[in-house]
């Protein structure tokens, strides 16, 4: 019976891991899932930020393009983000605004990890996709324990994390805790770790930017661009009618329409480009910065409005307090006047009497 050497067996396992799971990641399911986060042996960054635009032509519909966010992943101007900002400004209905919100990048963090429990349980490293709130809790624990000279990522002395998911949709909540007991990890497991950067590039940066921008332009009627300028025609009933779904072939038809529309204005565009002397890369950078500045301005305006509302509330509270004090003062003055005019002598009222006797006199007057 043929046998494999330990070295060859490791290669076989590594190859199996690479090719069987190269195209997918796993996420945290409902209930409790125990994972062991794996760090790189060289001590370098062991996680990657991921942002993905899911471009659809109807709310909750089928995506026609799935594109990584250049801003979240590469820290560079993102043409999809710029197009979404323009589409938001041009939106004319609640339905459009709701659809545009679904285009914004969904942000997660991916790590290499052993899934110890649940449907994705495996003894081999898997790419685990974590919500931002989950990663925030895990990274916070790692940093806190590191300051106390305890390495939660150590293969032998480290610990597993238990992630609990409760609820669904917008009501989904995640909590993270350390597992009460953790099994050590064999050093050979690290040989099966995935190249996270390469995985992101292969899954979400496959050149679908033009398809995504074409769909956005066709739905909203805005002008968008990537490396080459794209001039969008008027909104198409194909994408704005109810329950419309654009398949790949239909997107190609839209692209052809865009090229035809652009050819009709090529002379005018050339004059504009020559006058501006602005490259596509410079334009995208400018539009991205304008988008960020607009966001900051909106936030500042909202903060200003909130501060004004708070100041108004403080003024109203102060006015109410002053009115109450004036009312109490008037009541006391009336009682004092009544006491002076009654059979009780003015001297007796003004005498240094105990408070309870004064109250008794005033009570008699009221009766």
Tokens 């480290």 sit on residue: 158
Q: What is the pLDDT of residue 353?
A: 56
Crossing angle of helices 248-264/209-220, nearest 10°? 70
Helix ranges (DSSP H) in the chain? 6-20, 70-74, 79-90, 94-103, 132-147, 196-204, 209-220, 237-240, 248-264, 266-276, 280-341, 346-350, 355-366
Q: Coil, strand, or helix at residue 11?
A: helix
Residue 179 main-chain phi, psi, to 5 deg: -70, 140
> What per-residue confidence (pLDDT) applies to 319?
84
Is 222 within 8 Å of 83 (Cβ atoms)? yes
Average pLDDT of the chain, as a whole number:
79
What's the half-sphere exposure (Cβ side, CA atoms, 13 Å) at 313? 6
Contact partners, residue 235, CB within 8 Å, separation at least 6: 218, 219, 220, 221
Cα dihedral 256/259/265/266 (nearest 10): -160
- Give dist(CA 143, CA 154) in Å, integer: 13
Closest CA to 213 of 304, 83, 315: 83
Residues 6+ apart with CB under 8 A from 365: 335, 338, 339, 342, 344
Cβ atoms of 285 and 79 within 8 Å: the answer is no
How many residues can be counted in the chain?
367
Distance linking the first and last C-alpha atoms of the chain: 113
Return the pLDDT at 264: 43
CA distance 210 to 228: 9
CA–CA distance, 153 with 39 (Å, rounded to integer): 6
44-69 residue pLDDT tens = 999 999 999 999 999 989 999 999 99
According to DSSP, residue 236 is labeled: P
| Residue ranges in the chain modelled with pLDDT below 50 | 1-2, 17-21, 227-255, 257-276, 344-346
pLDDT given at position 148: 94
Sequence-distant (6+) residues with CB within 8 A of 333 are none
What is the reported pLDDT for 121? Answer: 94
| Locus of tokens 């669904």 | 168
The pLDDT of residue 126: 97
């Amino acid at each position: 019976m043929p046998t494999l050497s330990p070295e060859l067996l490791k290669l076989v396992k590594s190859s199996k891991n690479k090719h069987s799971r190269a195209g997918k990641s796993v996420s945290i399911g409902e209930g409790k899932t125990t994972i062991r986060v794996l760090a790189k042996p060289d001590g370098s960054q062991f996680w990657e930020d991921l942002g993905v635009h899911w471009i659809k032509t109807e709310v909750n519909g089928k995506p026609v393009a799935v594109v990584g966010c250049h801003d979240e992943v590469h820290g560079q101007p993102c043409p999809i983000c710029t197009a979404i900002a323009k589409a938001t400004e041009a939106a004319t209905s609640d339905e459009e605004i709701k659809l545009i919100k679904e285009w914004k990048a969904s942000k997660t963090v991916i790590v290499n990890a052993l899934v110890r429990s649940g449907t994705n349980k495996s003894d081999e490293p898997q790419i685990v996709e974590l919500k931002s709130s989950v990663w925030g809790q895990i990274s916070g624990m790692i940093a806190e324990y590191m300051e106390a000279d305890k390495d939660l990522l150590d293969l032998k002395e480290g610990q597993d994390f238990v992630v609990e998911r409760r609820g669904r949709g917008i009501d989904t909540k995640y909590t993270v805790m350390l597992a009460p007991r953790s099994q050590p990890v064999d050093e050979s497991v690290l040989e099966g770790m995935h190249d996270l950067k390469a995985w992101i590039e292969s899954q979400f940066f496959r050149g679908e930017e033009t398809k995504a921008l074409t769909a956005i332009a066709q739905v909203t009627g805005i002008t968008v661009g990537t490396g080459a300028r794209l001039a969008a025609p008027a909104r198409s009933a194909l994408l704005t009618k109810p329950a419309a779904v654009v398949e790949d072939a239909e997107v190609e038809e839209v692209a052809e329409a865009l090229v035809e529309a652009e050819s009709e204005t090529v002379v005018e565009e050339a004059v504009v480009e020559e006058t501006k002397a602005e490259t596509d890369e410079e334009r995208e950078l400018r539009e991205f910065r304008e988008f960020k500045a607009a966001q900051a301005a909106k936030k500042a305006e909202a903060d200003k409005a909130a501060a004004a509302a708070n100041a108004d509330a403080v003024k109203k509270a102060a006015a109410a307090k002053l009115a109450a004090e004036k009312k109490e003062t008037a009541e006391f003055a009336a009682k004092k006047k009544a006491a002076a005019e009654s059979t009780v002598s003015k001297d007796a009222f003004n005498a240094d009497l105990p408070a309870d006797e004064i109250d008794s006199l005033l009570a008699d007057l009221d009766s």
